[in-house]
Structure 1
Amino acid sequence: MTIAEVSKKYEISADTLRYYERIGLIPSVRRKENGIRDYSDTDCGWVEFIKCMRGAGIQVEALIEYVSLFQQGDGTQEARKQILLEQREQLAARMEDMKQTLARLDKKIAHYDECLRFAENKLRGGRE
């Protein structure tokens, strides 16, 4: 697949894909004789993985380390697992913070709903 096709498929700009490759998030993509990138299924798997992880807020530095270790082979499995466990823990903490924020927003919205009901009731002369 060309960079344009990958960009469209995964809804990531071509510039972002080039950046990810440059910093090591996506292992080097093979190029055709004319120099155009030719993304394989494996390359697309990396794009999908990185997009998922970044969408969840996983740090770029952690992902760079993970990809680097992956490229070093099976001897790094425990280190890769540790990175994923650490990132999972951080993600779970962020999700808990988000749950608390959501509950607070729900409470504030309910307050405004109650204020609006009261104001509407007052406009009707106290009748429901």
Structure 2
Amino acid sequence: MYSIKEVQIKSGLPASTLRYYEKEGILPEVGRDEGGRRVYTEKQIDWLRFVMAMKDTGMTIEEIKAYLELNAKGEATVHERRDLLVAHKKKVEEHMAQTQHNLEKIIQKIAYYDQVVMGKSFS
């Protein structure tokens, strides 16, 4: 079991975000110790890492909640959960391709400036 402070350190998320995720049902079933302080399991930390990966790749809180609701319904929703993740993966891949394209433009501009700095001009 982990304290909220330990989860903050492990995840890099502030306590306010952890409490928000709990309030919104994104981080369900957070236990309490004898003093009423939140305690987290390894399974919850693994789930939190998954949530962070989804969030960091552009999945909205609403989409994460939808996934969680499907997950709570059990085996009958495996295909729907997979479809949701496949759709998200496609969006991430499209974003990555656009980012790669933009990076190439930036690299080209840096190469241009490198030439200018070295005294070679371009017409």
Which amino acid is the alignment partner of residue 116 of structure 1?
V
Structure of greater Rg: 1
TM (norm. structure 1) is 0.87
Shift of 1:62: 1.3
Residue 96 of structure 2 is matched in structure 1 by 95
Partner of 1:67: 68
Q: TM-score, normalised by structure 2?
A: 0.90
Q: What's the counterpart of residue 53 of structure 1?
A: 54
Query: How many pairs were matched up?
Result: 120
Residue 84 of structure 2 aligns with which residue? 83
The worse-fitting range, judged by mean Cα deviation, of 76-85 and 47-56 is 47-56
Mapped contact 1:24–1:68 kept (Cα < 8 A): no
Q: Distance in 2 between matches of 1:16 and 1:74?
A: 29
Paired position in structure 1 for 2:23: 22
Task: Give the aligned residue type for 1:10.
Answer: S
8 Å contact 1:29–1:38 — kept in the other structure? Answer: yes
Q: Deviations over 1:44-84 (max 9, x none)?
A: 11111111222222222211111111111111111111110
Distance 2:59 2:47 in 1: 15
Distance in 1, matches of 2:102 and 2:17, equals: 31
Q: Give unpaired runs (5+ residues) of structure 1.
A: 122-128
Cα deviation 1:14-57 (Å, max 9, x = unaligned): 11111111112211211123221110111111111111222222
**By percentage of residues, which structure has more strand?**
2
Point out where structure 2 has 5 or more consecutive residues left out of the alignment. none
In structure 2, the residue matched to 1:34 is 35
